[in-house]
Amino acid sequence: METIVEIQGLTYAYRGHEDQPVLHSIQLEIIRGEFLVLAGRTGSGKSTLCYALNGLVPHSYGGRMEGLVRVCGLDTREVLIPTLARKVGMVLQSAESQLVGLTVQEDVEFGLENIGLPLEEIRERAQWALDVVRLSDLASRSPWTLSGGQKQRTAIAAALAFRPELLVLDNPTAELDPVGKQEVLETLARLNRELGITIVLVDQDLHEAIPFASRLALLDEGRIVLIGTPGEVLDQAEAVRAIGVKLPDVTEVAYQLRKVGGWPGRLPIAVEEAQAQIRKGFQSVQTAGAPRPDGDGNQGVLGDPLVQTEELSFGYPGGQDVLRGITLTVRRGEFVALMGPNGAGKTTLAKHFNGLLKPTQGRILVNGTDTRERTVAQLATHVGYVFQNPDHQIFSQTVAEELGFGPKNLRWPPARIQEAVDQMLTDLELSGQGKAEPFFMGLAERKLIAIGSVLIMGPQLLVLDEPATGADYGVALRIMRYISNLHRRGLTVVIITHDVSLAANYADRLLVMRDGHVVLDGSPRELFRNLAELRRAYVTPPQVTELVLGLDGLGLSPDIIRVDELVQALKGA
Amino acid sequence: MASIRLSYYEGGDSFLVRLDPRVKLLYILWVFAMIMVFSHPLYQSFTMVTLLLAAYLGGLSVWSVIKAGRFGVYVGLASWALWIIFLRGEGVALFKLGGWPVTDLGVMVGLSVALRVTSVLFAFLVVAMTTPTRDIILGLYGLRVSVVFSMVVGIILRLIPQLQAEHATIIEAQKSRATEFEKGGLITRFRKHTSYVIPLALRALKIVSDLSIAMESRAFDPYAKRTFGRELRLHVVDKVILALMAVALLGGIIMRVTGLGGVASGMLVGRGQ
């Protein structure tokens, strides 16, 4: 077996922070043809390790590097990035930030032009790369008009056109909807299987990536702490959880049962494997541990209508309608998850709730008032809208100023602003950090500050666009627990999300959109067991639901959508 | 947020789109030279007419060009107004506005400066809207401009629309926190505008940094020999247009040297030159 990557004692610190290494004594060998998945919490060093593989570290970033990184026989310290680019393809997290060309074809050809290949060879290689990722039909399209998955496949084609031996992908599916994720992962699996290209993939969603992985490496604080086959690594569930990596649902169920002596063998990593082991070990569950009723007590008696849309349609000037005749009601006390593929109209609909967009047809009432009669500022005390990226919002020098920005705009008296800011700092568990600079805080804190700066204005409805995207498991959990507490205290919540597990664990109502319509509306339990309809709306059910639906005859309720529910049911078996 | 565009390029297969990019880039320089040669708005209007013609030959709606360059229109109008104020004591008074005299010299010089400001911008926009970014880079390279400068121009053209989209998102995020940008006095408004300037500046740094990583990872080296996506060749029509531009510029210079195309007091009321 030939080694394609050899890393010995790699320690690296970025320029300006030479005394704070982000990678410590990394030892790693990657065999040609492997599919290695890297995971770990934010800041664990995954991206830096990727950059070390194509020479960006140290050539582009500078800093202090110790140890050896040899890729395809080349010492990365001795050869420059353009030379390494012919051997190592790199794909980054944000598909859009990588787009250089005006058309898909131009984008793929850009790299080949850089290395001065003859024009005929550029054309031939670009065509081949586009064929491999199945984008030939879209070669003349602007990449900006493509779906998220297609954009990432364009980036993969651009890397592939170099005919690399190693493809490194830094969290390429993080911003994609489930369909886009599947497209990208299947493309990678094919490249690995059919062309023998070695793959190094950073991915937070283990349950999606590990079916394709030959090995899994987990990083924590710049060190590789666990490495092995996915089965070997995930069998050490305690250690995996300790470093902030989320276990796949099926592994988590088995792990919870193992803790009480209810799981004898190795922890499963795939649905089929778990089903086989459960069938062997559990004869009948009957009604023991039946799931809690819909809403789990957090919905209770629903209140009055808070938001009502009537035949709401919307289109941007000169474009097609993005929303088409939507009629729905959001009642006080609900926790709604708005799901659907990219471009379905979720964000456009949500922006109508606080008046950022006004209907081109139909109307929307917030607290009984037509939003066309109110400004966004007037609606801010009724509906709070938190954008996906906190960096679109934060601008103040201190946390307190950031939190007080909205109330100041509402011309609250200084004493009232101060009181509200102090209360919000306490609620966010940031007491004593009012004078801290938000730009230098972690992602979780920045996201919480963004939420707090909207909540402080006292809205009755909080809309959050992808609250957990880009965050690791620990950060996502902290944010969702905070939102869940707010909901329990009576706040109505609407979240826009691709994360089914988040919808299953927190929402009591699911709205699924496609092509500007609401195509499914109901409780998560009701909708998640309806696999055919979900697939038509490009939504996949939680892995635990897939597991349960394949265990018919065992007496498990098909309403199970959460890990703890299945664990409870199996404990009673 | 409406879908964002990768560049100003509008696409299509118009006469202007098919022209050699070097001719189009030289046209921008030609507009600059022509508009500077004359200071009389009537003579400058010849250059402005060629802009309208270029937009027509590029299959562009005049409105879309004006919309893309509206900032330049505001600057042009503002400079016109300022010149009218500055030159209120010179030339022949045409009428009074709020007690201040508006003179013919103020109107003419102000309009001339406004046309100078806007014409080059609109020439650039017409070319950018009818030329793919890659061809602009190729054209600059063909005009013996350094690869580094050519690529920088290409990258800026690639980034402007993306930053415009970021700007729109940040404005929406701040509006959601009850910011009313259009309300309040000058200082209040200035303070409100920092709420998007700072996030936009930080996002711009992030976007540029990500793009540079992506480009480096694709072997981009501004000093290395590279291949361009196509070879440039001047066709008959390109040569004819170049010749026409040269003749017009030469004619303009001769007219100016002989005393035509300047501005003097009394022109609007039948006196002077």
- The pLDDT value given to residue B269: 66
Residue B257: pLDDT over 90:
yes
10 Å Cβ neighbour count for A292?
13
Question: How far does B219 lie from chain A, in Å, by closest CA?
Answer: 4
For residue range B47-94, list pLDDT tens digits in order.
999 999 999 999 999 888 998 888 889 999 999 999 999 888 888 888
Query: What phi, psi does A75 have (nearest 5°)?
Result: -75, 115
A100 to chain B, any CB pair closer than 8 A? The answer is yes
Q: pTM score > 0.95 for this model? A: no
Task: Tell if the CB–CB gap between B229 and A159 is shorter than 8 Å.
Answer: no
Task: Tell if the CB–CB gap between B133 and A92 is shorter than 8 Å.
Answer: no
Residue A93, H or E segment: none
For residue range A35-67, list pLDDT tens digits in order.
999 999 988 999 999 999 999 999 999 999 999
Task: Tell if the CB–CB gap between A158 and B218 is shorter than 8 Å.
Answer: yes
Query: What phi, psi does A531 have (nearest 5°)?
Result: -60, -40
Mean pLDDT across chain A: 91
Task: Tell if the CB–CB gap between B176 and A387 is shorter than 8 Å.
Answer: yes
Task: Tell if the CB–CB gap between A457 and B180 is shorter than 8 Å.
Answer: no
C-alpha to C-alpha distance for A2 and A24, rounded to whole angstroms: 25
Per cent of chain A over pLDDT 70 is 97
Residue A297: pLDDT over 50:
no
Complete DSSP assignment for B41-97: HHHHHHHHHHHHHHHHHTT--HHHHHHHTHHHHHHHHHHHHHHHHHTTTSS-EEEEE
A92 to chain B, any CB pair closer than 8 A? The answer is yes
- Select from B3, B173, B215 the Cβ nearest to the Cβ of A100: B215
Question: How far does B207 lie from chain A, in Å, by closest CA?
Answer: 6
Task: Tell if the CB–CB gap between A409 and B229 is shorter than 8 Å.
Answer: no
Question: How far does A116 lie from chain B, in Å, by closest CA?
Answer: 4
- Identify the CA nearest to A130 among candidates A159, A166, A173, A90: A159
B226 to chain A, any CB pair closer than 8 A? The answer is yes
For residue range A253-279, list pLDDT tens digits in order.
999 999 998 888 899 999 999 999 998
- In chain B, the residue whose alpha carbon lies closest to the alpha carbon of A89 is B217
B187 to chain A, any CB pair closer than 8 A? The answer is no
Instruction: Mark A207-235 as b/e (b = at least 16 C-beta within 10 Å).
Output: bbbbebbbbbbbbbebbbbbbeebbebbb
The amino acid at residue A556 is L
Instruction: Mark A38-54 as b/e (b = at least 16 C-beta within 10 Å).
Output: bbbbbbbbbbbbbbbbb
A320 to chain B, any CB pair closer than 8 A? The answer is no
Contact A130, A139 (CB under 8 A): yes
Task: Tell if the CB–CB gap between A384 and B169 is shorter than 8 Å.
Answer: no
Complete DSSP assignment for A210-233: GGG-SEEEEEETTEEEEEE-HHHH
Query: What phi, psi does A467 have (nearest 5°)?
Result: -65, -25
- Identify the CA nearest to A162 among candidates A195, A209, A202: A195
Complete DSSP assignment for A359-422: -SEEEEEETTEEGGGS-HHHHTTTEEEE-S-GGGT---SSHHHHHHHHHHHTT--HHHHHHHHH
C-alpha to C-alpha distance for A486 and A381, rounded to whole angstroms: 16
- Select from B2, B178, B214 the Cβ nearest to the Cβ of A457: B178
Residue A193: pLDDT over 70:
yes
Confidence of residue A95 (pLDDT cuts 50, 70, 90): confident
C-alpha to C-alpha distance for B201 and B208, rounded to whole angstroms: 11
Give residue for tokens 């390494």.
Answer: A84
Report chain A residues whose CB lies below 8 A from the CB of B206.
391
- Which two tokens mark A73? 């026989």
CA trace torsion A499, A503, A509, A513 (10° rounding): 0
For residue range A501-511, list pLDDT tens digits in order.
999 999 999 99
Mutate to test the interface with B, among A393, A410, A446 (most CBs of B within 10 A): A393
The amino acid at residue A138 is L
Residue B99: pLDDT over 90:
no
Q: β-strand B100-103 against A383-386: which pairing, if any?
A: unpaired
Q: Where are the beta strands (DSSP E) in A95-214?
A: 166-170, 198-202
Complete DSSP assignment for B178-240: T--TTSS-HHHHHHHHHHHHHHHHHHHHHHHHHHHHHHHHTT--TTS----SS-----HHHHH
- Identify the CA nearest to A65 among candidates A13, A122, A126: A13
Give the pLDDT mean for A343-356.
94
The lowest-confidence range among A45-49, A440-444, A465-469, B183-187 is: B183-187
C-alpha to C-alpha distance for A70 and A76, rounded to whole angstroms: 6
C-alpha to C-alpha distance for A455 and A426, rounded to whole angstroms: 13
For B171, half-sphere exposure in the C-beta direction (CA atoms, 13 angstrom radius) is: 12
C-alpha to C-alpha distance for A411 and A339, rounded to whole angstroms: 36
Confidence of residue B191 (pLDDT cuts 50, 70, 90): confident
3-state class of A66 per DSSP?
strand
Task: Tell if the CB–CB gap between B220 and A101 is shorter than 8 Å.
Answer: no
10 Å Cβ neighbour count for B190?
11
Report the range out of A40-44, A331-335, A338-342, A549-553 with the highest average pLDDT: A331-335
Q: How far is CA A152 from CA A158, A510, B220, in A?
A: 10, 28, 20
Give the pLDDT mean for A20-35.
96
- In chain B, the residue whose alpha carbon lies closest to the alpha carbon of A346 is B1
Residue A235: pLDDT over 80:
yes
Task: Tell if the CB–CB gap between A116 and B224 is shorter than 8 Å.
Answer: yes
For residue range B140-171, list pLDDT tens digits in order.
988 988 888 888 888 888 788 788 889 999 99
C-alpha to C-alpha distance for A472 and A477, rounded to whole angstroms: 9
- Select from A96, A351, A391 the Cβ nearest to the Cβ of B203: A391
- Which two tokens mark A8? 């010995």
Task: Tell if the CB–CB gap between A406 and B7 is shorter than 8 Å.
Answer: no
Give the pLDDT mean for B218-244.
89
Task: Tell if the CB–CB gap between A377 and B226 is shorter than 8 Å.
Answer: no
Mutate to test the interface with A, among B175, B176, B195, B227 (most CBs of A within 10 A): B176
**Is the confidence metric ipTM above 0.90 for this complex?**
no
Residue A93: pLDDT over 90:
no
- Select from B6, B7, B178 the Cβ nearest to the Cβ of A410: B178
- Identify the CA nearest to A558 among candidates A573, A546, A572: A546
The DSSP secondary-structure symbol of A266 reads P
Give the pLDDT mean for A20-40.
96
- Which two tokens mark A373? 């009669």
Report chain B residues whose CB lies below 8 A from the CB of A381.
178
- The pLDDT value given to residue B93: 87
A60 to chain B, any CB pair closer than 8 A? The answer is yes
Q: β-strand A3-13 against B100-103: which pairing, if any?
A: unpaired
- Identify the CA nearest to B157 among candidates A157, A495, A102: A102
Per cent of chain B over pLDDT 90 is 52
- Identify the CA nearest to B220 among candidates B263, B168, B158: B158
Give the pLDDT mean for A400-407.
96
- The pLDDT value given to residue A293: 43
Report chain B residues whose CB lies below 8 A from the CB of A439.
202
Question: How far does A229 lie from chain B, in Å, by closest CA?
Answer: 29
Residue A298: pLDDT over 80:
no
C-alpha to C-alpha distance for B141 and B151, rounded to whole angstroms: 9
3-state class of A439 per DSSP?
helix
- Select from A56, A119, A384 the Cβ nearest to the Cβ of B216: A56
- In chain A, the residue whose alpha carbon lies closest to the alpha carbon of B188 is A409
C-alpha to C-alpha distance for B1 and A316, rounded to whole angstroms: 9
Asked, as a colleague might, if the bond just before B199 is cis with ω within 30 of 0, I would say: no
Report chain B residues whose CB lies below 8 A from the CB of A101.
6, 134
A114 to chain B, any CB pair closer than 8 A? The answer is yes
C-alpha to C-alpha distance for A472 and A202, rounded to whole angstroms: 12
Task: Tell if the CB–CB gap between B199 and A391 is shorter than 8 Å.
Answer: yes
- The pLDDT value given to residue B4: 47
- The pLDDT value given to residue A294: 46
Task: Tell if the CB–CB gap between A100 and B158 is shorter than 8 Å.
Answer: yes
- Identify the CA nearest to A516 among candidates A364, A321, A308: A321
C-alpha to C-alpha distance for B75 and B70, rounded to whole angstroms: 9
* A224, β-bridge pairs: A219
- Select from A94, A158, A375 the Cβ nearest to the Cβ of B210: A94
Q: β-strand B93-97 against B100-103: which pairing, if any?
A: antiparallel
C-alpha to C-alpha distance for A568 and A291, rounded to whole angstroms: 8
* B231, β-bridge pairs: none
Report chain B residues whose CB lies below 8 A from the CB of A122.
227, 229
3-state class of A327 per DSSP?
strand
What is the side-by-side strand order in the sheet with A198-202? A88-91, A166-170, A198-202, A35-39, A215-220, A223-228
Give the pLDDT mean for B26-39.
95
B170 to chain A, any CB pair closer than 8 A? The answer is yes
